[in-house]
Structure 1
């Protein structure tokens, strides 16, 4: 017997978390995958309602874990959108399919990014969800995170080793998306990751993401680099002339797209100061990750790039303590 929305007693018991009723009904129920008017099974409703015990009972009784509703939703999608982390873990452990069906617009990872559930994103990545899966608009999860300016989400995806060269249906990389949306912090994070990838590929021939817990692409606020960051700010705001930051950027092998992305934020006659400052901080990030002495390195690079006078200023302003201090990324 069904009520007007097509729900059976088993649907209603599962939806409302009545595990004892579900257990009793299952002893006398043949059609456990029966659909209501929305194409929802009792199992789907148990997950949508956050009722893990009911979901477990129904799955043990033979419920279809991967069935789609009439709206092309499945149990994993319902768990993700409602932020049910334990149920997401449960479903993954029960081998629910992480690859979306053709009629589904987004993958589970896209949905977790859209729903801003960082812990679920991490859980999906731990389960080897394809980090570069494309949705119906040819966007990766990183495209979505960059578009909404979610720094923490971008950080997790970058550290997991996503492909930064993939373009969406408009031909835009995640860097271009972040640049268009004026998220300067995320623009700089993606450029740091791109340069890190390039460095590793040049030395190792490949890069599969990073497990180093100290690695971060976010803005550096560490006390270890405070004095050096102050010197770089002074260099950018008081000494570099218009266009000189670009000369340095090209010397340090920043790509045209990276330079364009930096330049797209901030406009006006003095915007080059901020552009140069950001470029110098990105350079610093890579130098520290390469375990180089940044003070010695910038002096050497400024001389080689034709800025002898600036190199002397940096050396004068930098104390011997700073030269010997071991800087670590934080």
Structure 2
């Protein structure tokens, strides 16, 4: 029988524990990837992170640091592998590993973000791991690089039992993070009413109801983050912690609730406070911020609550400006229905229509035009919206503006009309559309006797004509321009048909080489054809007469005119 001495027994026990540690380490390394993902601070909280916890909760450190979190320890402390494993065990609430490794571990070892095992155990709400760390006399007031301590995390993540343990263990309940937030701020943000109740009733520390460095009290933060139950509790007479004071940016709780889309909070504040149209330092109301953030339900509630939609910001905008700029058609309609000024110009002299056109929001443009906005307002360059869109190649928007009757004679500060801008930009299709519109409205003004329902069967259009019924006459125009007319003939025809010098110059701006006159002639003929058809005149007859008028009888004689009663006259080449 072998008799083991005490020394041999201790050595055997040490060897056995060492083997267990090494075996466990291999197992831990296999599971580490999944465990780190589960316990990454980024996944510990689903709601929006704020203030000093933003970096902790969203883990804004570089992806490389985040991926290698197991190795992101403070190299100055020369951490042992066993100490790293201890922190990882605390993250998983792996009490067995913590007990096994704990004999020779520095429980206050910090990673690159100055977080210890206690930070992660508390954030994970692992009460068993916390209890072990308390027994090991962990530093309860250790701050990470954002000033966050374990007691902050207990309040933030809503673990009242852990918070009590930390307080009993000597954690400082008055501690503030780098942005001046204490445990009451943390609890208020996350709607942990039980923790605030404990702070006030048990700790008797109502003095924690104070502003952080941004001027936010717990009530304000609760409103900002939609903590309805917290707000209701703080409004009770026994707590009396409700406030509508402004923060450093001039925002009231109503501003913050509205800008973040918390409808129930907005309604609560509207029902209990007279706050409506207060403005922040940028001159923005709660209604403006709700509109800017596209929270339509909050906008509706604020309007129904009596908020004024015509209060102007420091940059001379009303809520219709951001709604139009971002293309929120239903919001635009809602604001118009509530008498929001449609033609207000901001500091750049841009009306809501300008912003909608600039950003190509066609439904918003249609809504504003239908509501009767002033289509001819000019911006700081004295340009109308047609000037703006003329060089954007947006034929659909140009069509809308032309049909709405925009003033085509307006000149910008450089003396250019929208036609000149389009010509300079080389937007051939838009140039032709504007000339069609100019000629049409000139004709309409001179022929007031024509019935307003003239185009009821053929809607007014200025785009390129692709109709099958006009294919033959368009082919004739092409043949004339590219085969029969000489370089200056198209200009002579244009003059005969009362094209203006500006219109001819705009057409001629296009340059495709020595044969450009052929393109110019074809475009001019199609523009002319558009007006003739709208006036319900015979294109074949007028074309023939026009050719005779410029002494092109030979060309005119090559065209045989076939008259077909009741139908458009067709031109057929001989």
TM-score > 0.5, shorter chain as reference: yes
| Residues 93 and 206 of structure 1, relative CA distance in 2, 3 Å threshold | farther
Q: Which residue of 2 aligns with 1:291?
A: 536
Give distance in 1, aligned partners of 2:406 and 2:449: 16
1:216 aligns with 2:461: yes
In structure 2, do the counterparts of structure 1 residues 211 and 68 end up closer, same or farther at CA, with 3 Å as the change threshold? farther
Deviations along 1:102-128, one digit per CA (max 9) or x if unpaired, are 745211111111111112112111111
Q: Hey, what's the Cα distance between the residues in 1 that align with 2:564 and 2:392?
A: 38
Which runs of structure 2 are paired with 1:41-60 in the superposition (5 Å)? Answer: 41-60=285-304
1:171 is aligned to 2:415: yes
- SS of equivalent to 2:397: helix
Partner of 2:355: 111
Q: Which moved more, 1:94-103 or 1:289-298?
A: 94-103
Q: Within the alignment, does 1:326 sit opposite 2:568 as a pair?
A: yes
Q: How does 1:258-269 map to 2 (within 5 A)?
A: 258-269=503-514
Distance of 1:117 and 1:52 partners within structure 2 = 18
Alpha-carbon displacement from aligned partner over 1:278-324 (angstroms, at most 9, x marks no partner)? 00101111111111222232122212332111112222xx7x48897
Name the counterpart of 1:204: 448
CA distance in 2, matches of 1:215, 1:39: 44
Aligned-partner SS, 2:255: helix
**1:13-49 deviation line (CA, Å, top 9, x unaligned):** 2122221211111122222222334332111111112
Residue aligned with 1:224, SS: helix
The answer to whether the aligner puts 1:239 opposite 2:484 as a matched pair is: yes
Alpha-carbon shift at residue 2 of structure 1 (Å): 4.6
What is the distance in 1 between the residues matched to 2:432 and 2:390?
Answer: 11
Cα drift, residue 98 of structure 1: 1.8
Q: Is the deviation greater in 61-70 or in 178-187?
A: 61-70
SS of alignment partner, residue 153 of structure 1: helix
2:379 maps to: 135
CA distance 1:227–1:241, change in 2 (3 Å): same
Distance in 2 of aligned mates of 1:155 and 1:291: 21
Q: Secondary structure at the match of 1:204?
A: coil
Q: Which residue of structure 2 lines up, in the alignment, with residue 62 of structure 1?
A: 306
Instruction: Report what 1:36 is aligned to.
Output: 280
- Partners of 2:481 and 2:347 in 1: how far apart? 51
Report the CA distance between 1:87 and its aligned residue.
0.7
Tell me what 1:15 maps to: 259
Match of 1:253 among 483, 493, 498: 498
Partner of 2:518: 273
Aligned partners of 2:269 and 2:436: how far apart in 1? 57
Once the two structures are TM-superposed, the CA of residue 211 in structure 1 deviates from its matched residue by 7.4
What is residue 399 of structure 2 aligned with on the other side? 155
Equivalence for 1:187? 431
SS of aligned partner of 1:148? coil
Shift of 1:198: 1.4
Q: TM-score, normalised by structure 1?
A: 0.91
CA distance in 2 between partners of 1:199 and 1:275 (Å):
22
Give me the CA root mean square deviation: 2.5
Structure 2-normalised TM-score?
0.53
Preserved CA contact (<8 Å) 2:387 2:418? yes
Tell me, in whole angstroms, the C-alpha distance in 2 between the residues paired with 1:258 and 1:251: 13
- Report the alpha carbon displacement of residue 225 of structure 1 after superposing the two structures with TM: 0.8
What's the counterpart of residue 475 of structure 2?
230
Q: Tell me, what secondary structure is at the counterpart of 2:308?
A: coil
SS at match of 1:225: helix
Aligned to 2:365: 121
In structure 1, the residue matched to 2:241 is none
For structure 1, the 5+ residue unaligned runs are none
Partner of 1:75: 319
Indicate if the aligned counterparts of 1:227 and 1:322 stay in contact, CA closer than 8 A: no
Unaligned runs of 5+ in 2: 1-244, 570-574
Query: Are the equivalent residues in 2 in contact too, given 1:48–1:79 (CA < 8 A)?
Result: yes
Decide which structure has the larger Cα Rg and report it.
2
Contact persistence 2:326–2:356 (CA under 8 A): no
Contact 2:345 2:352 in 1 (8 A): no
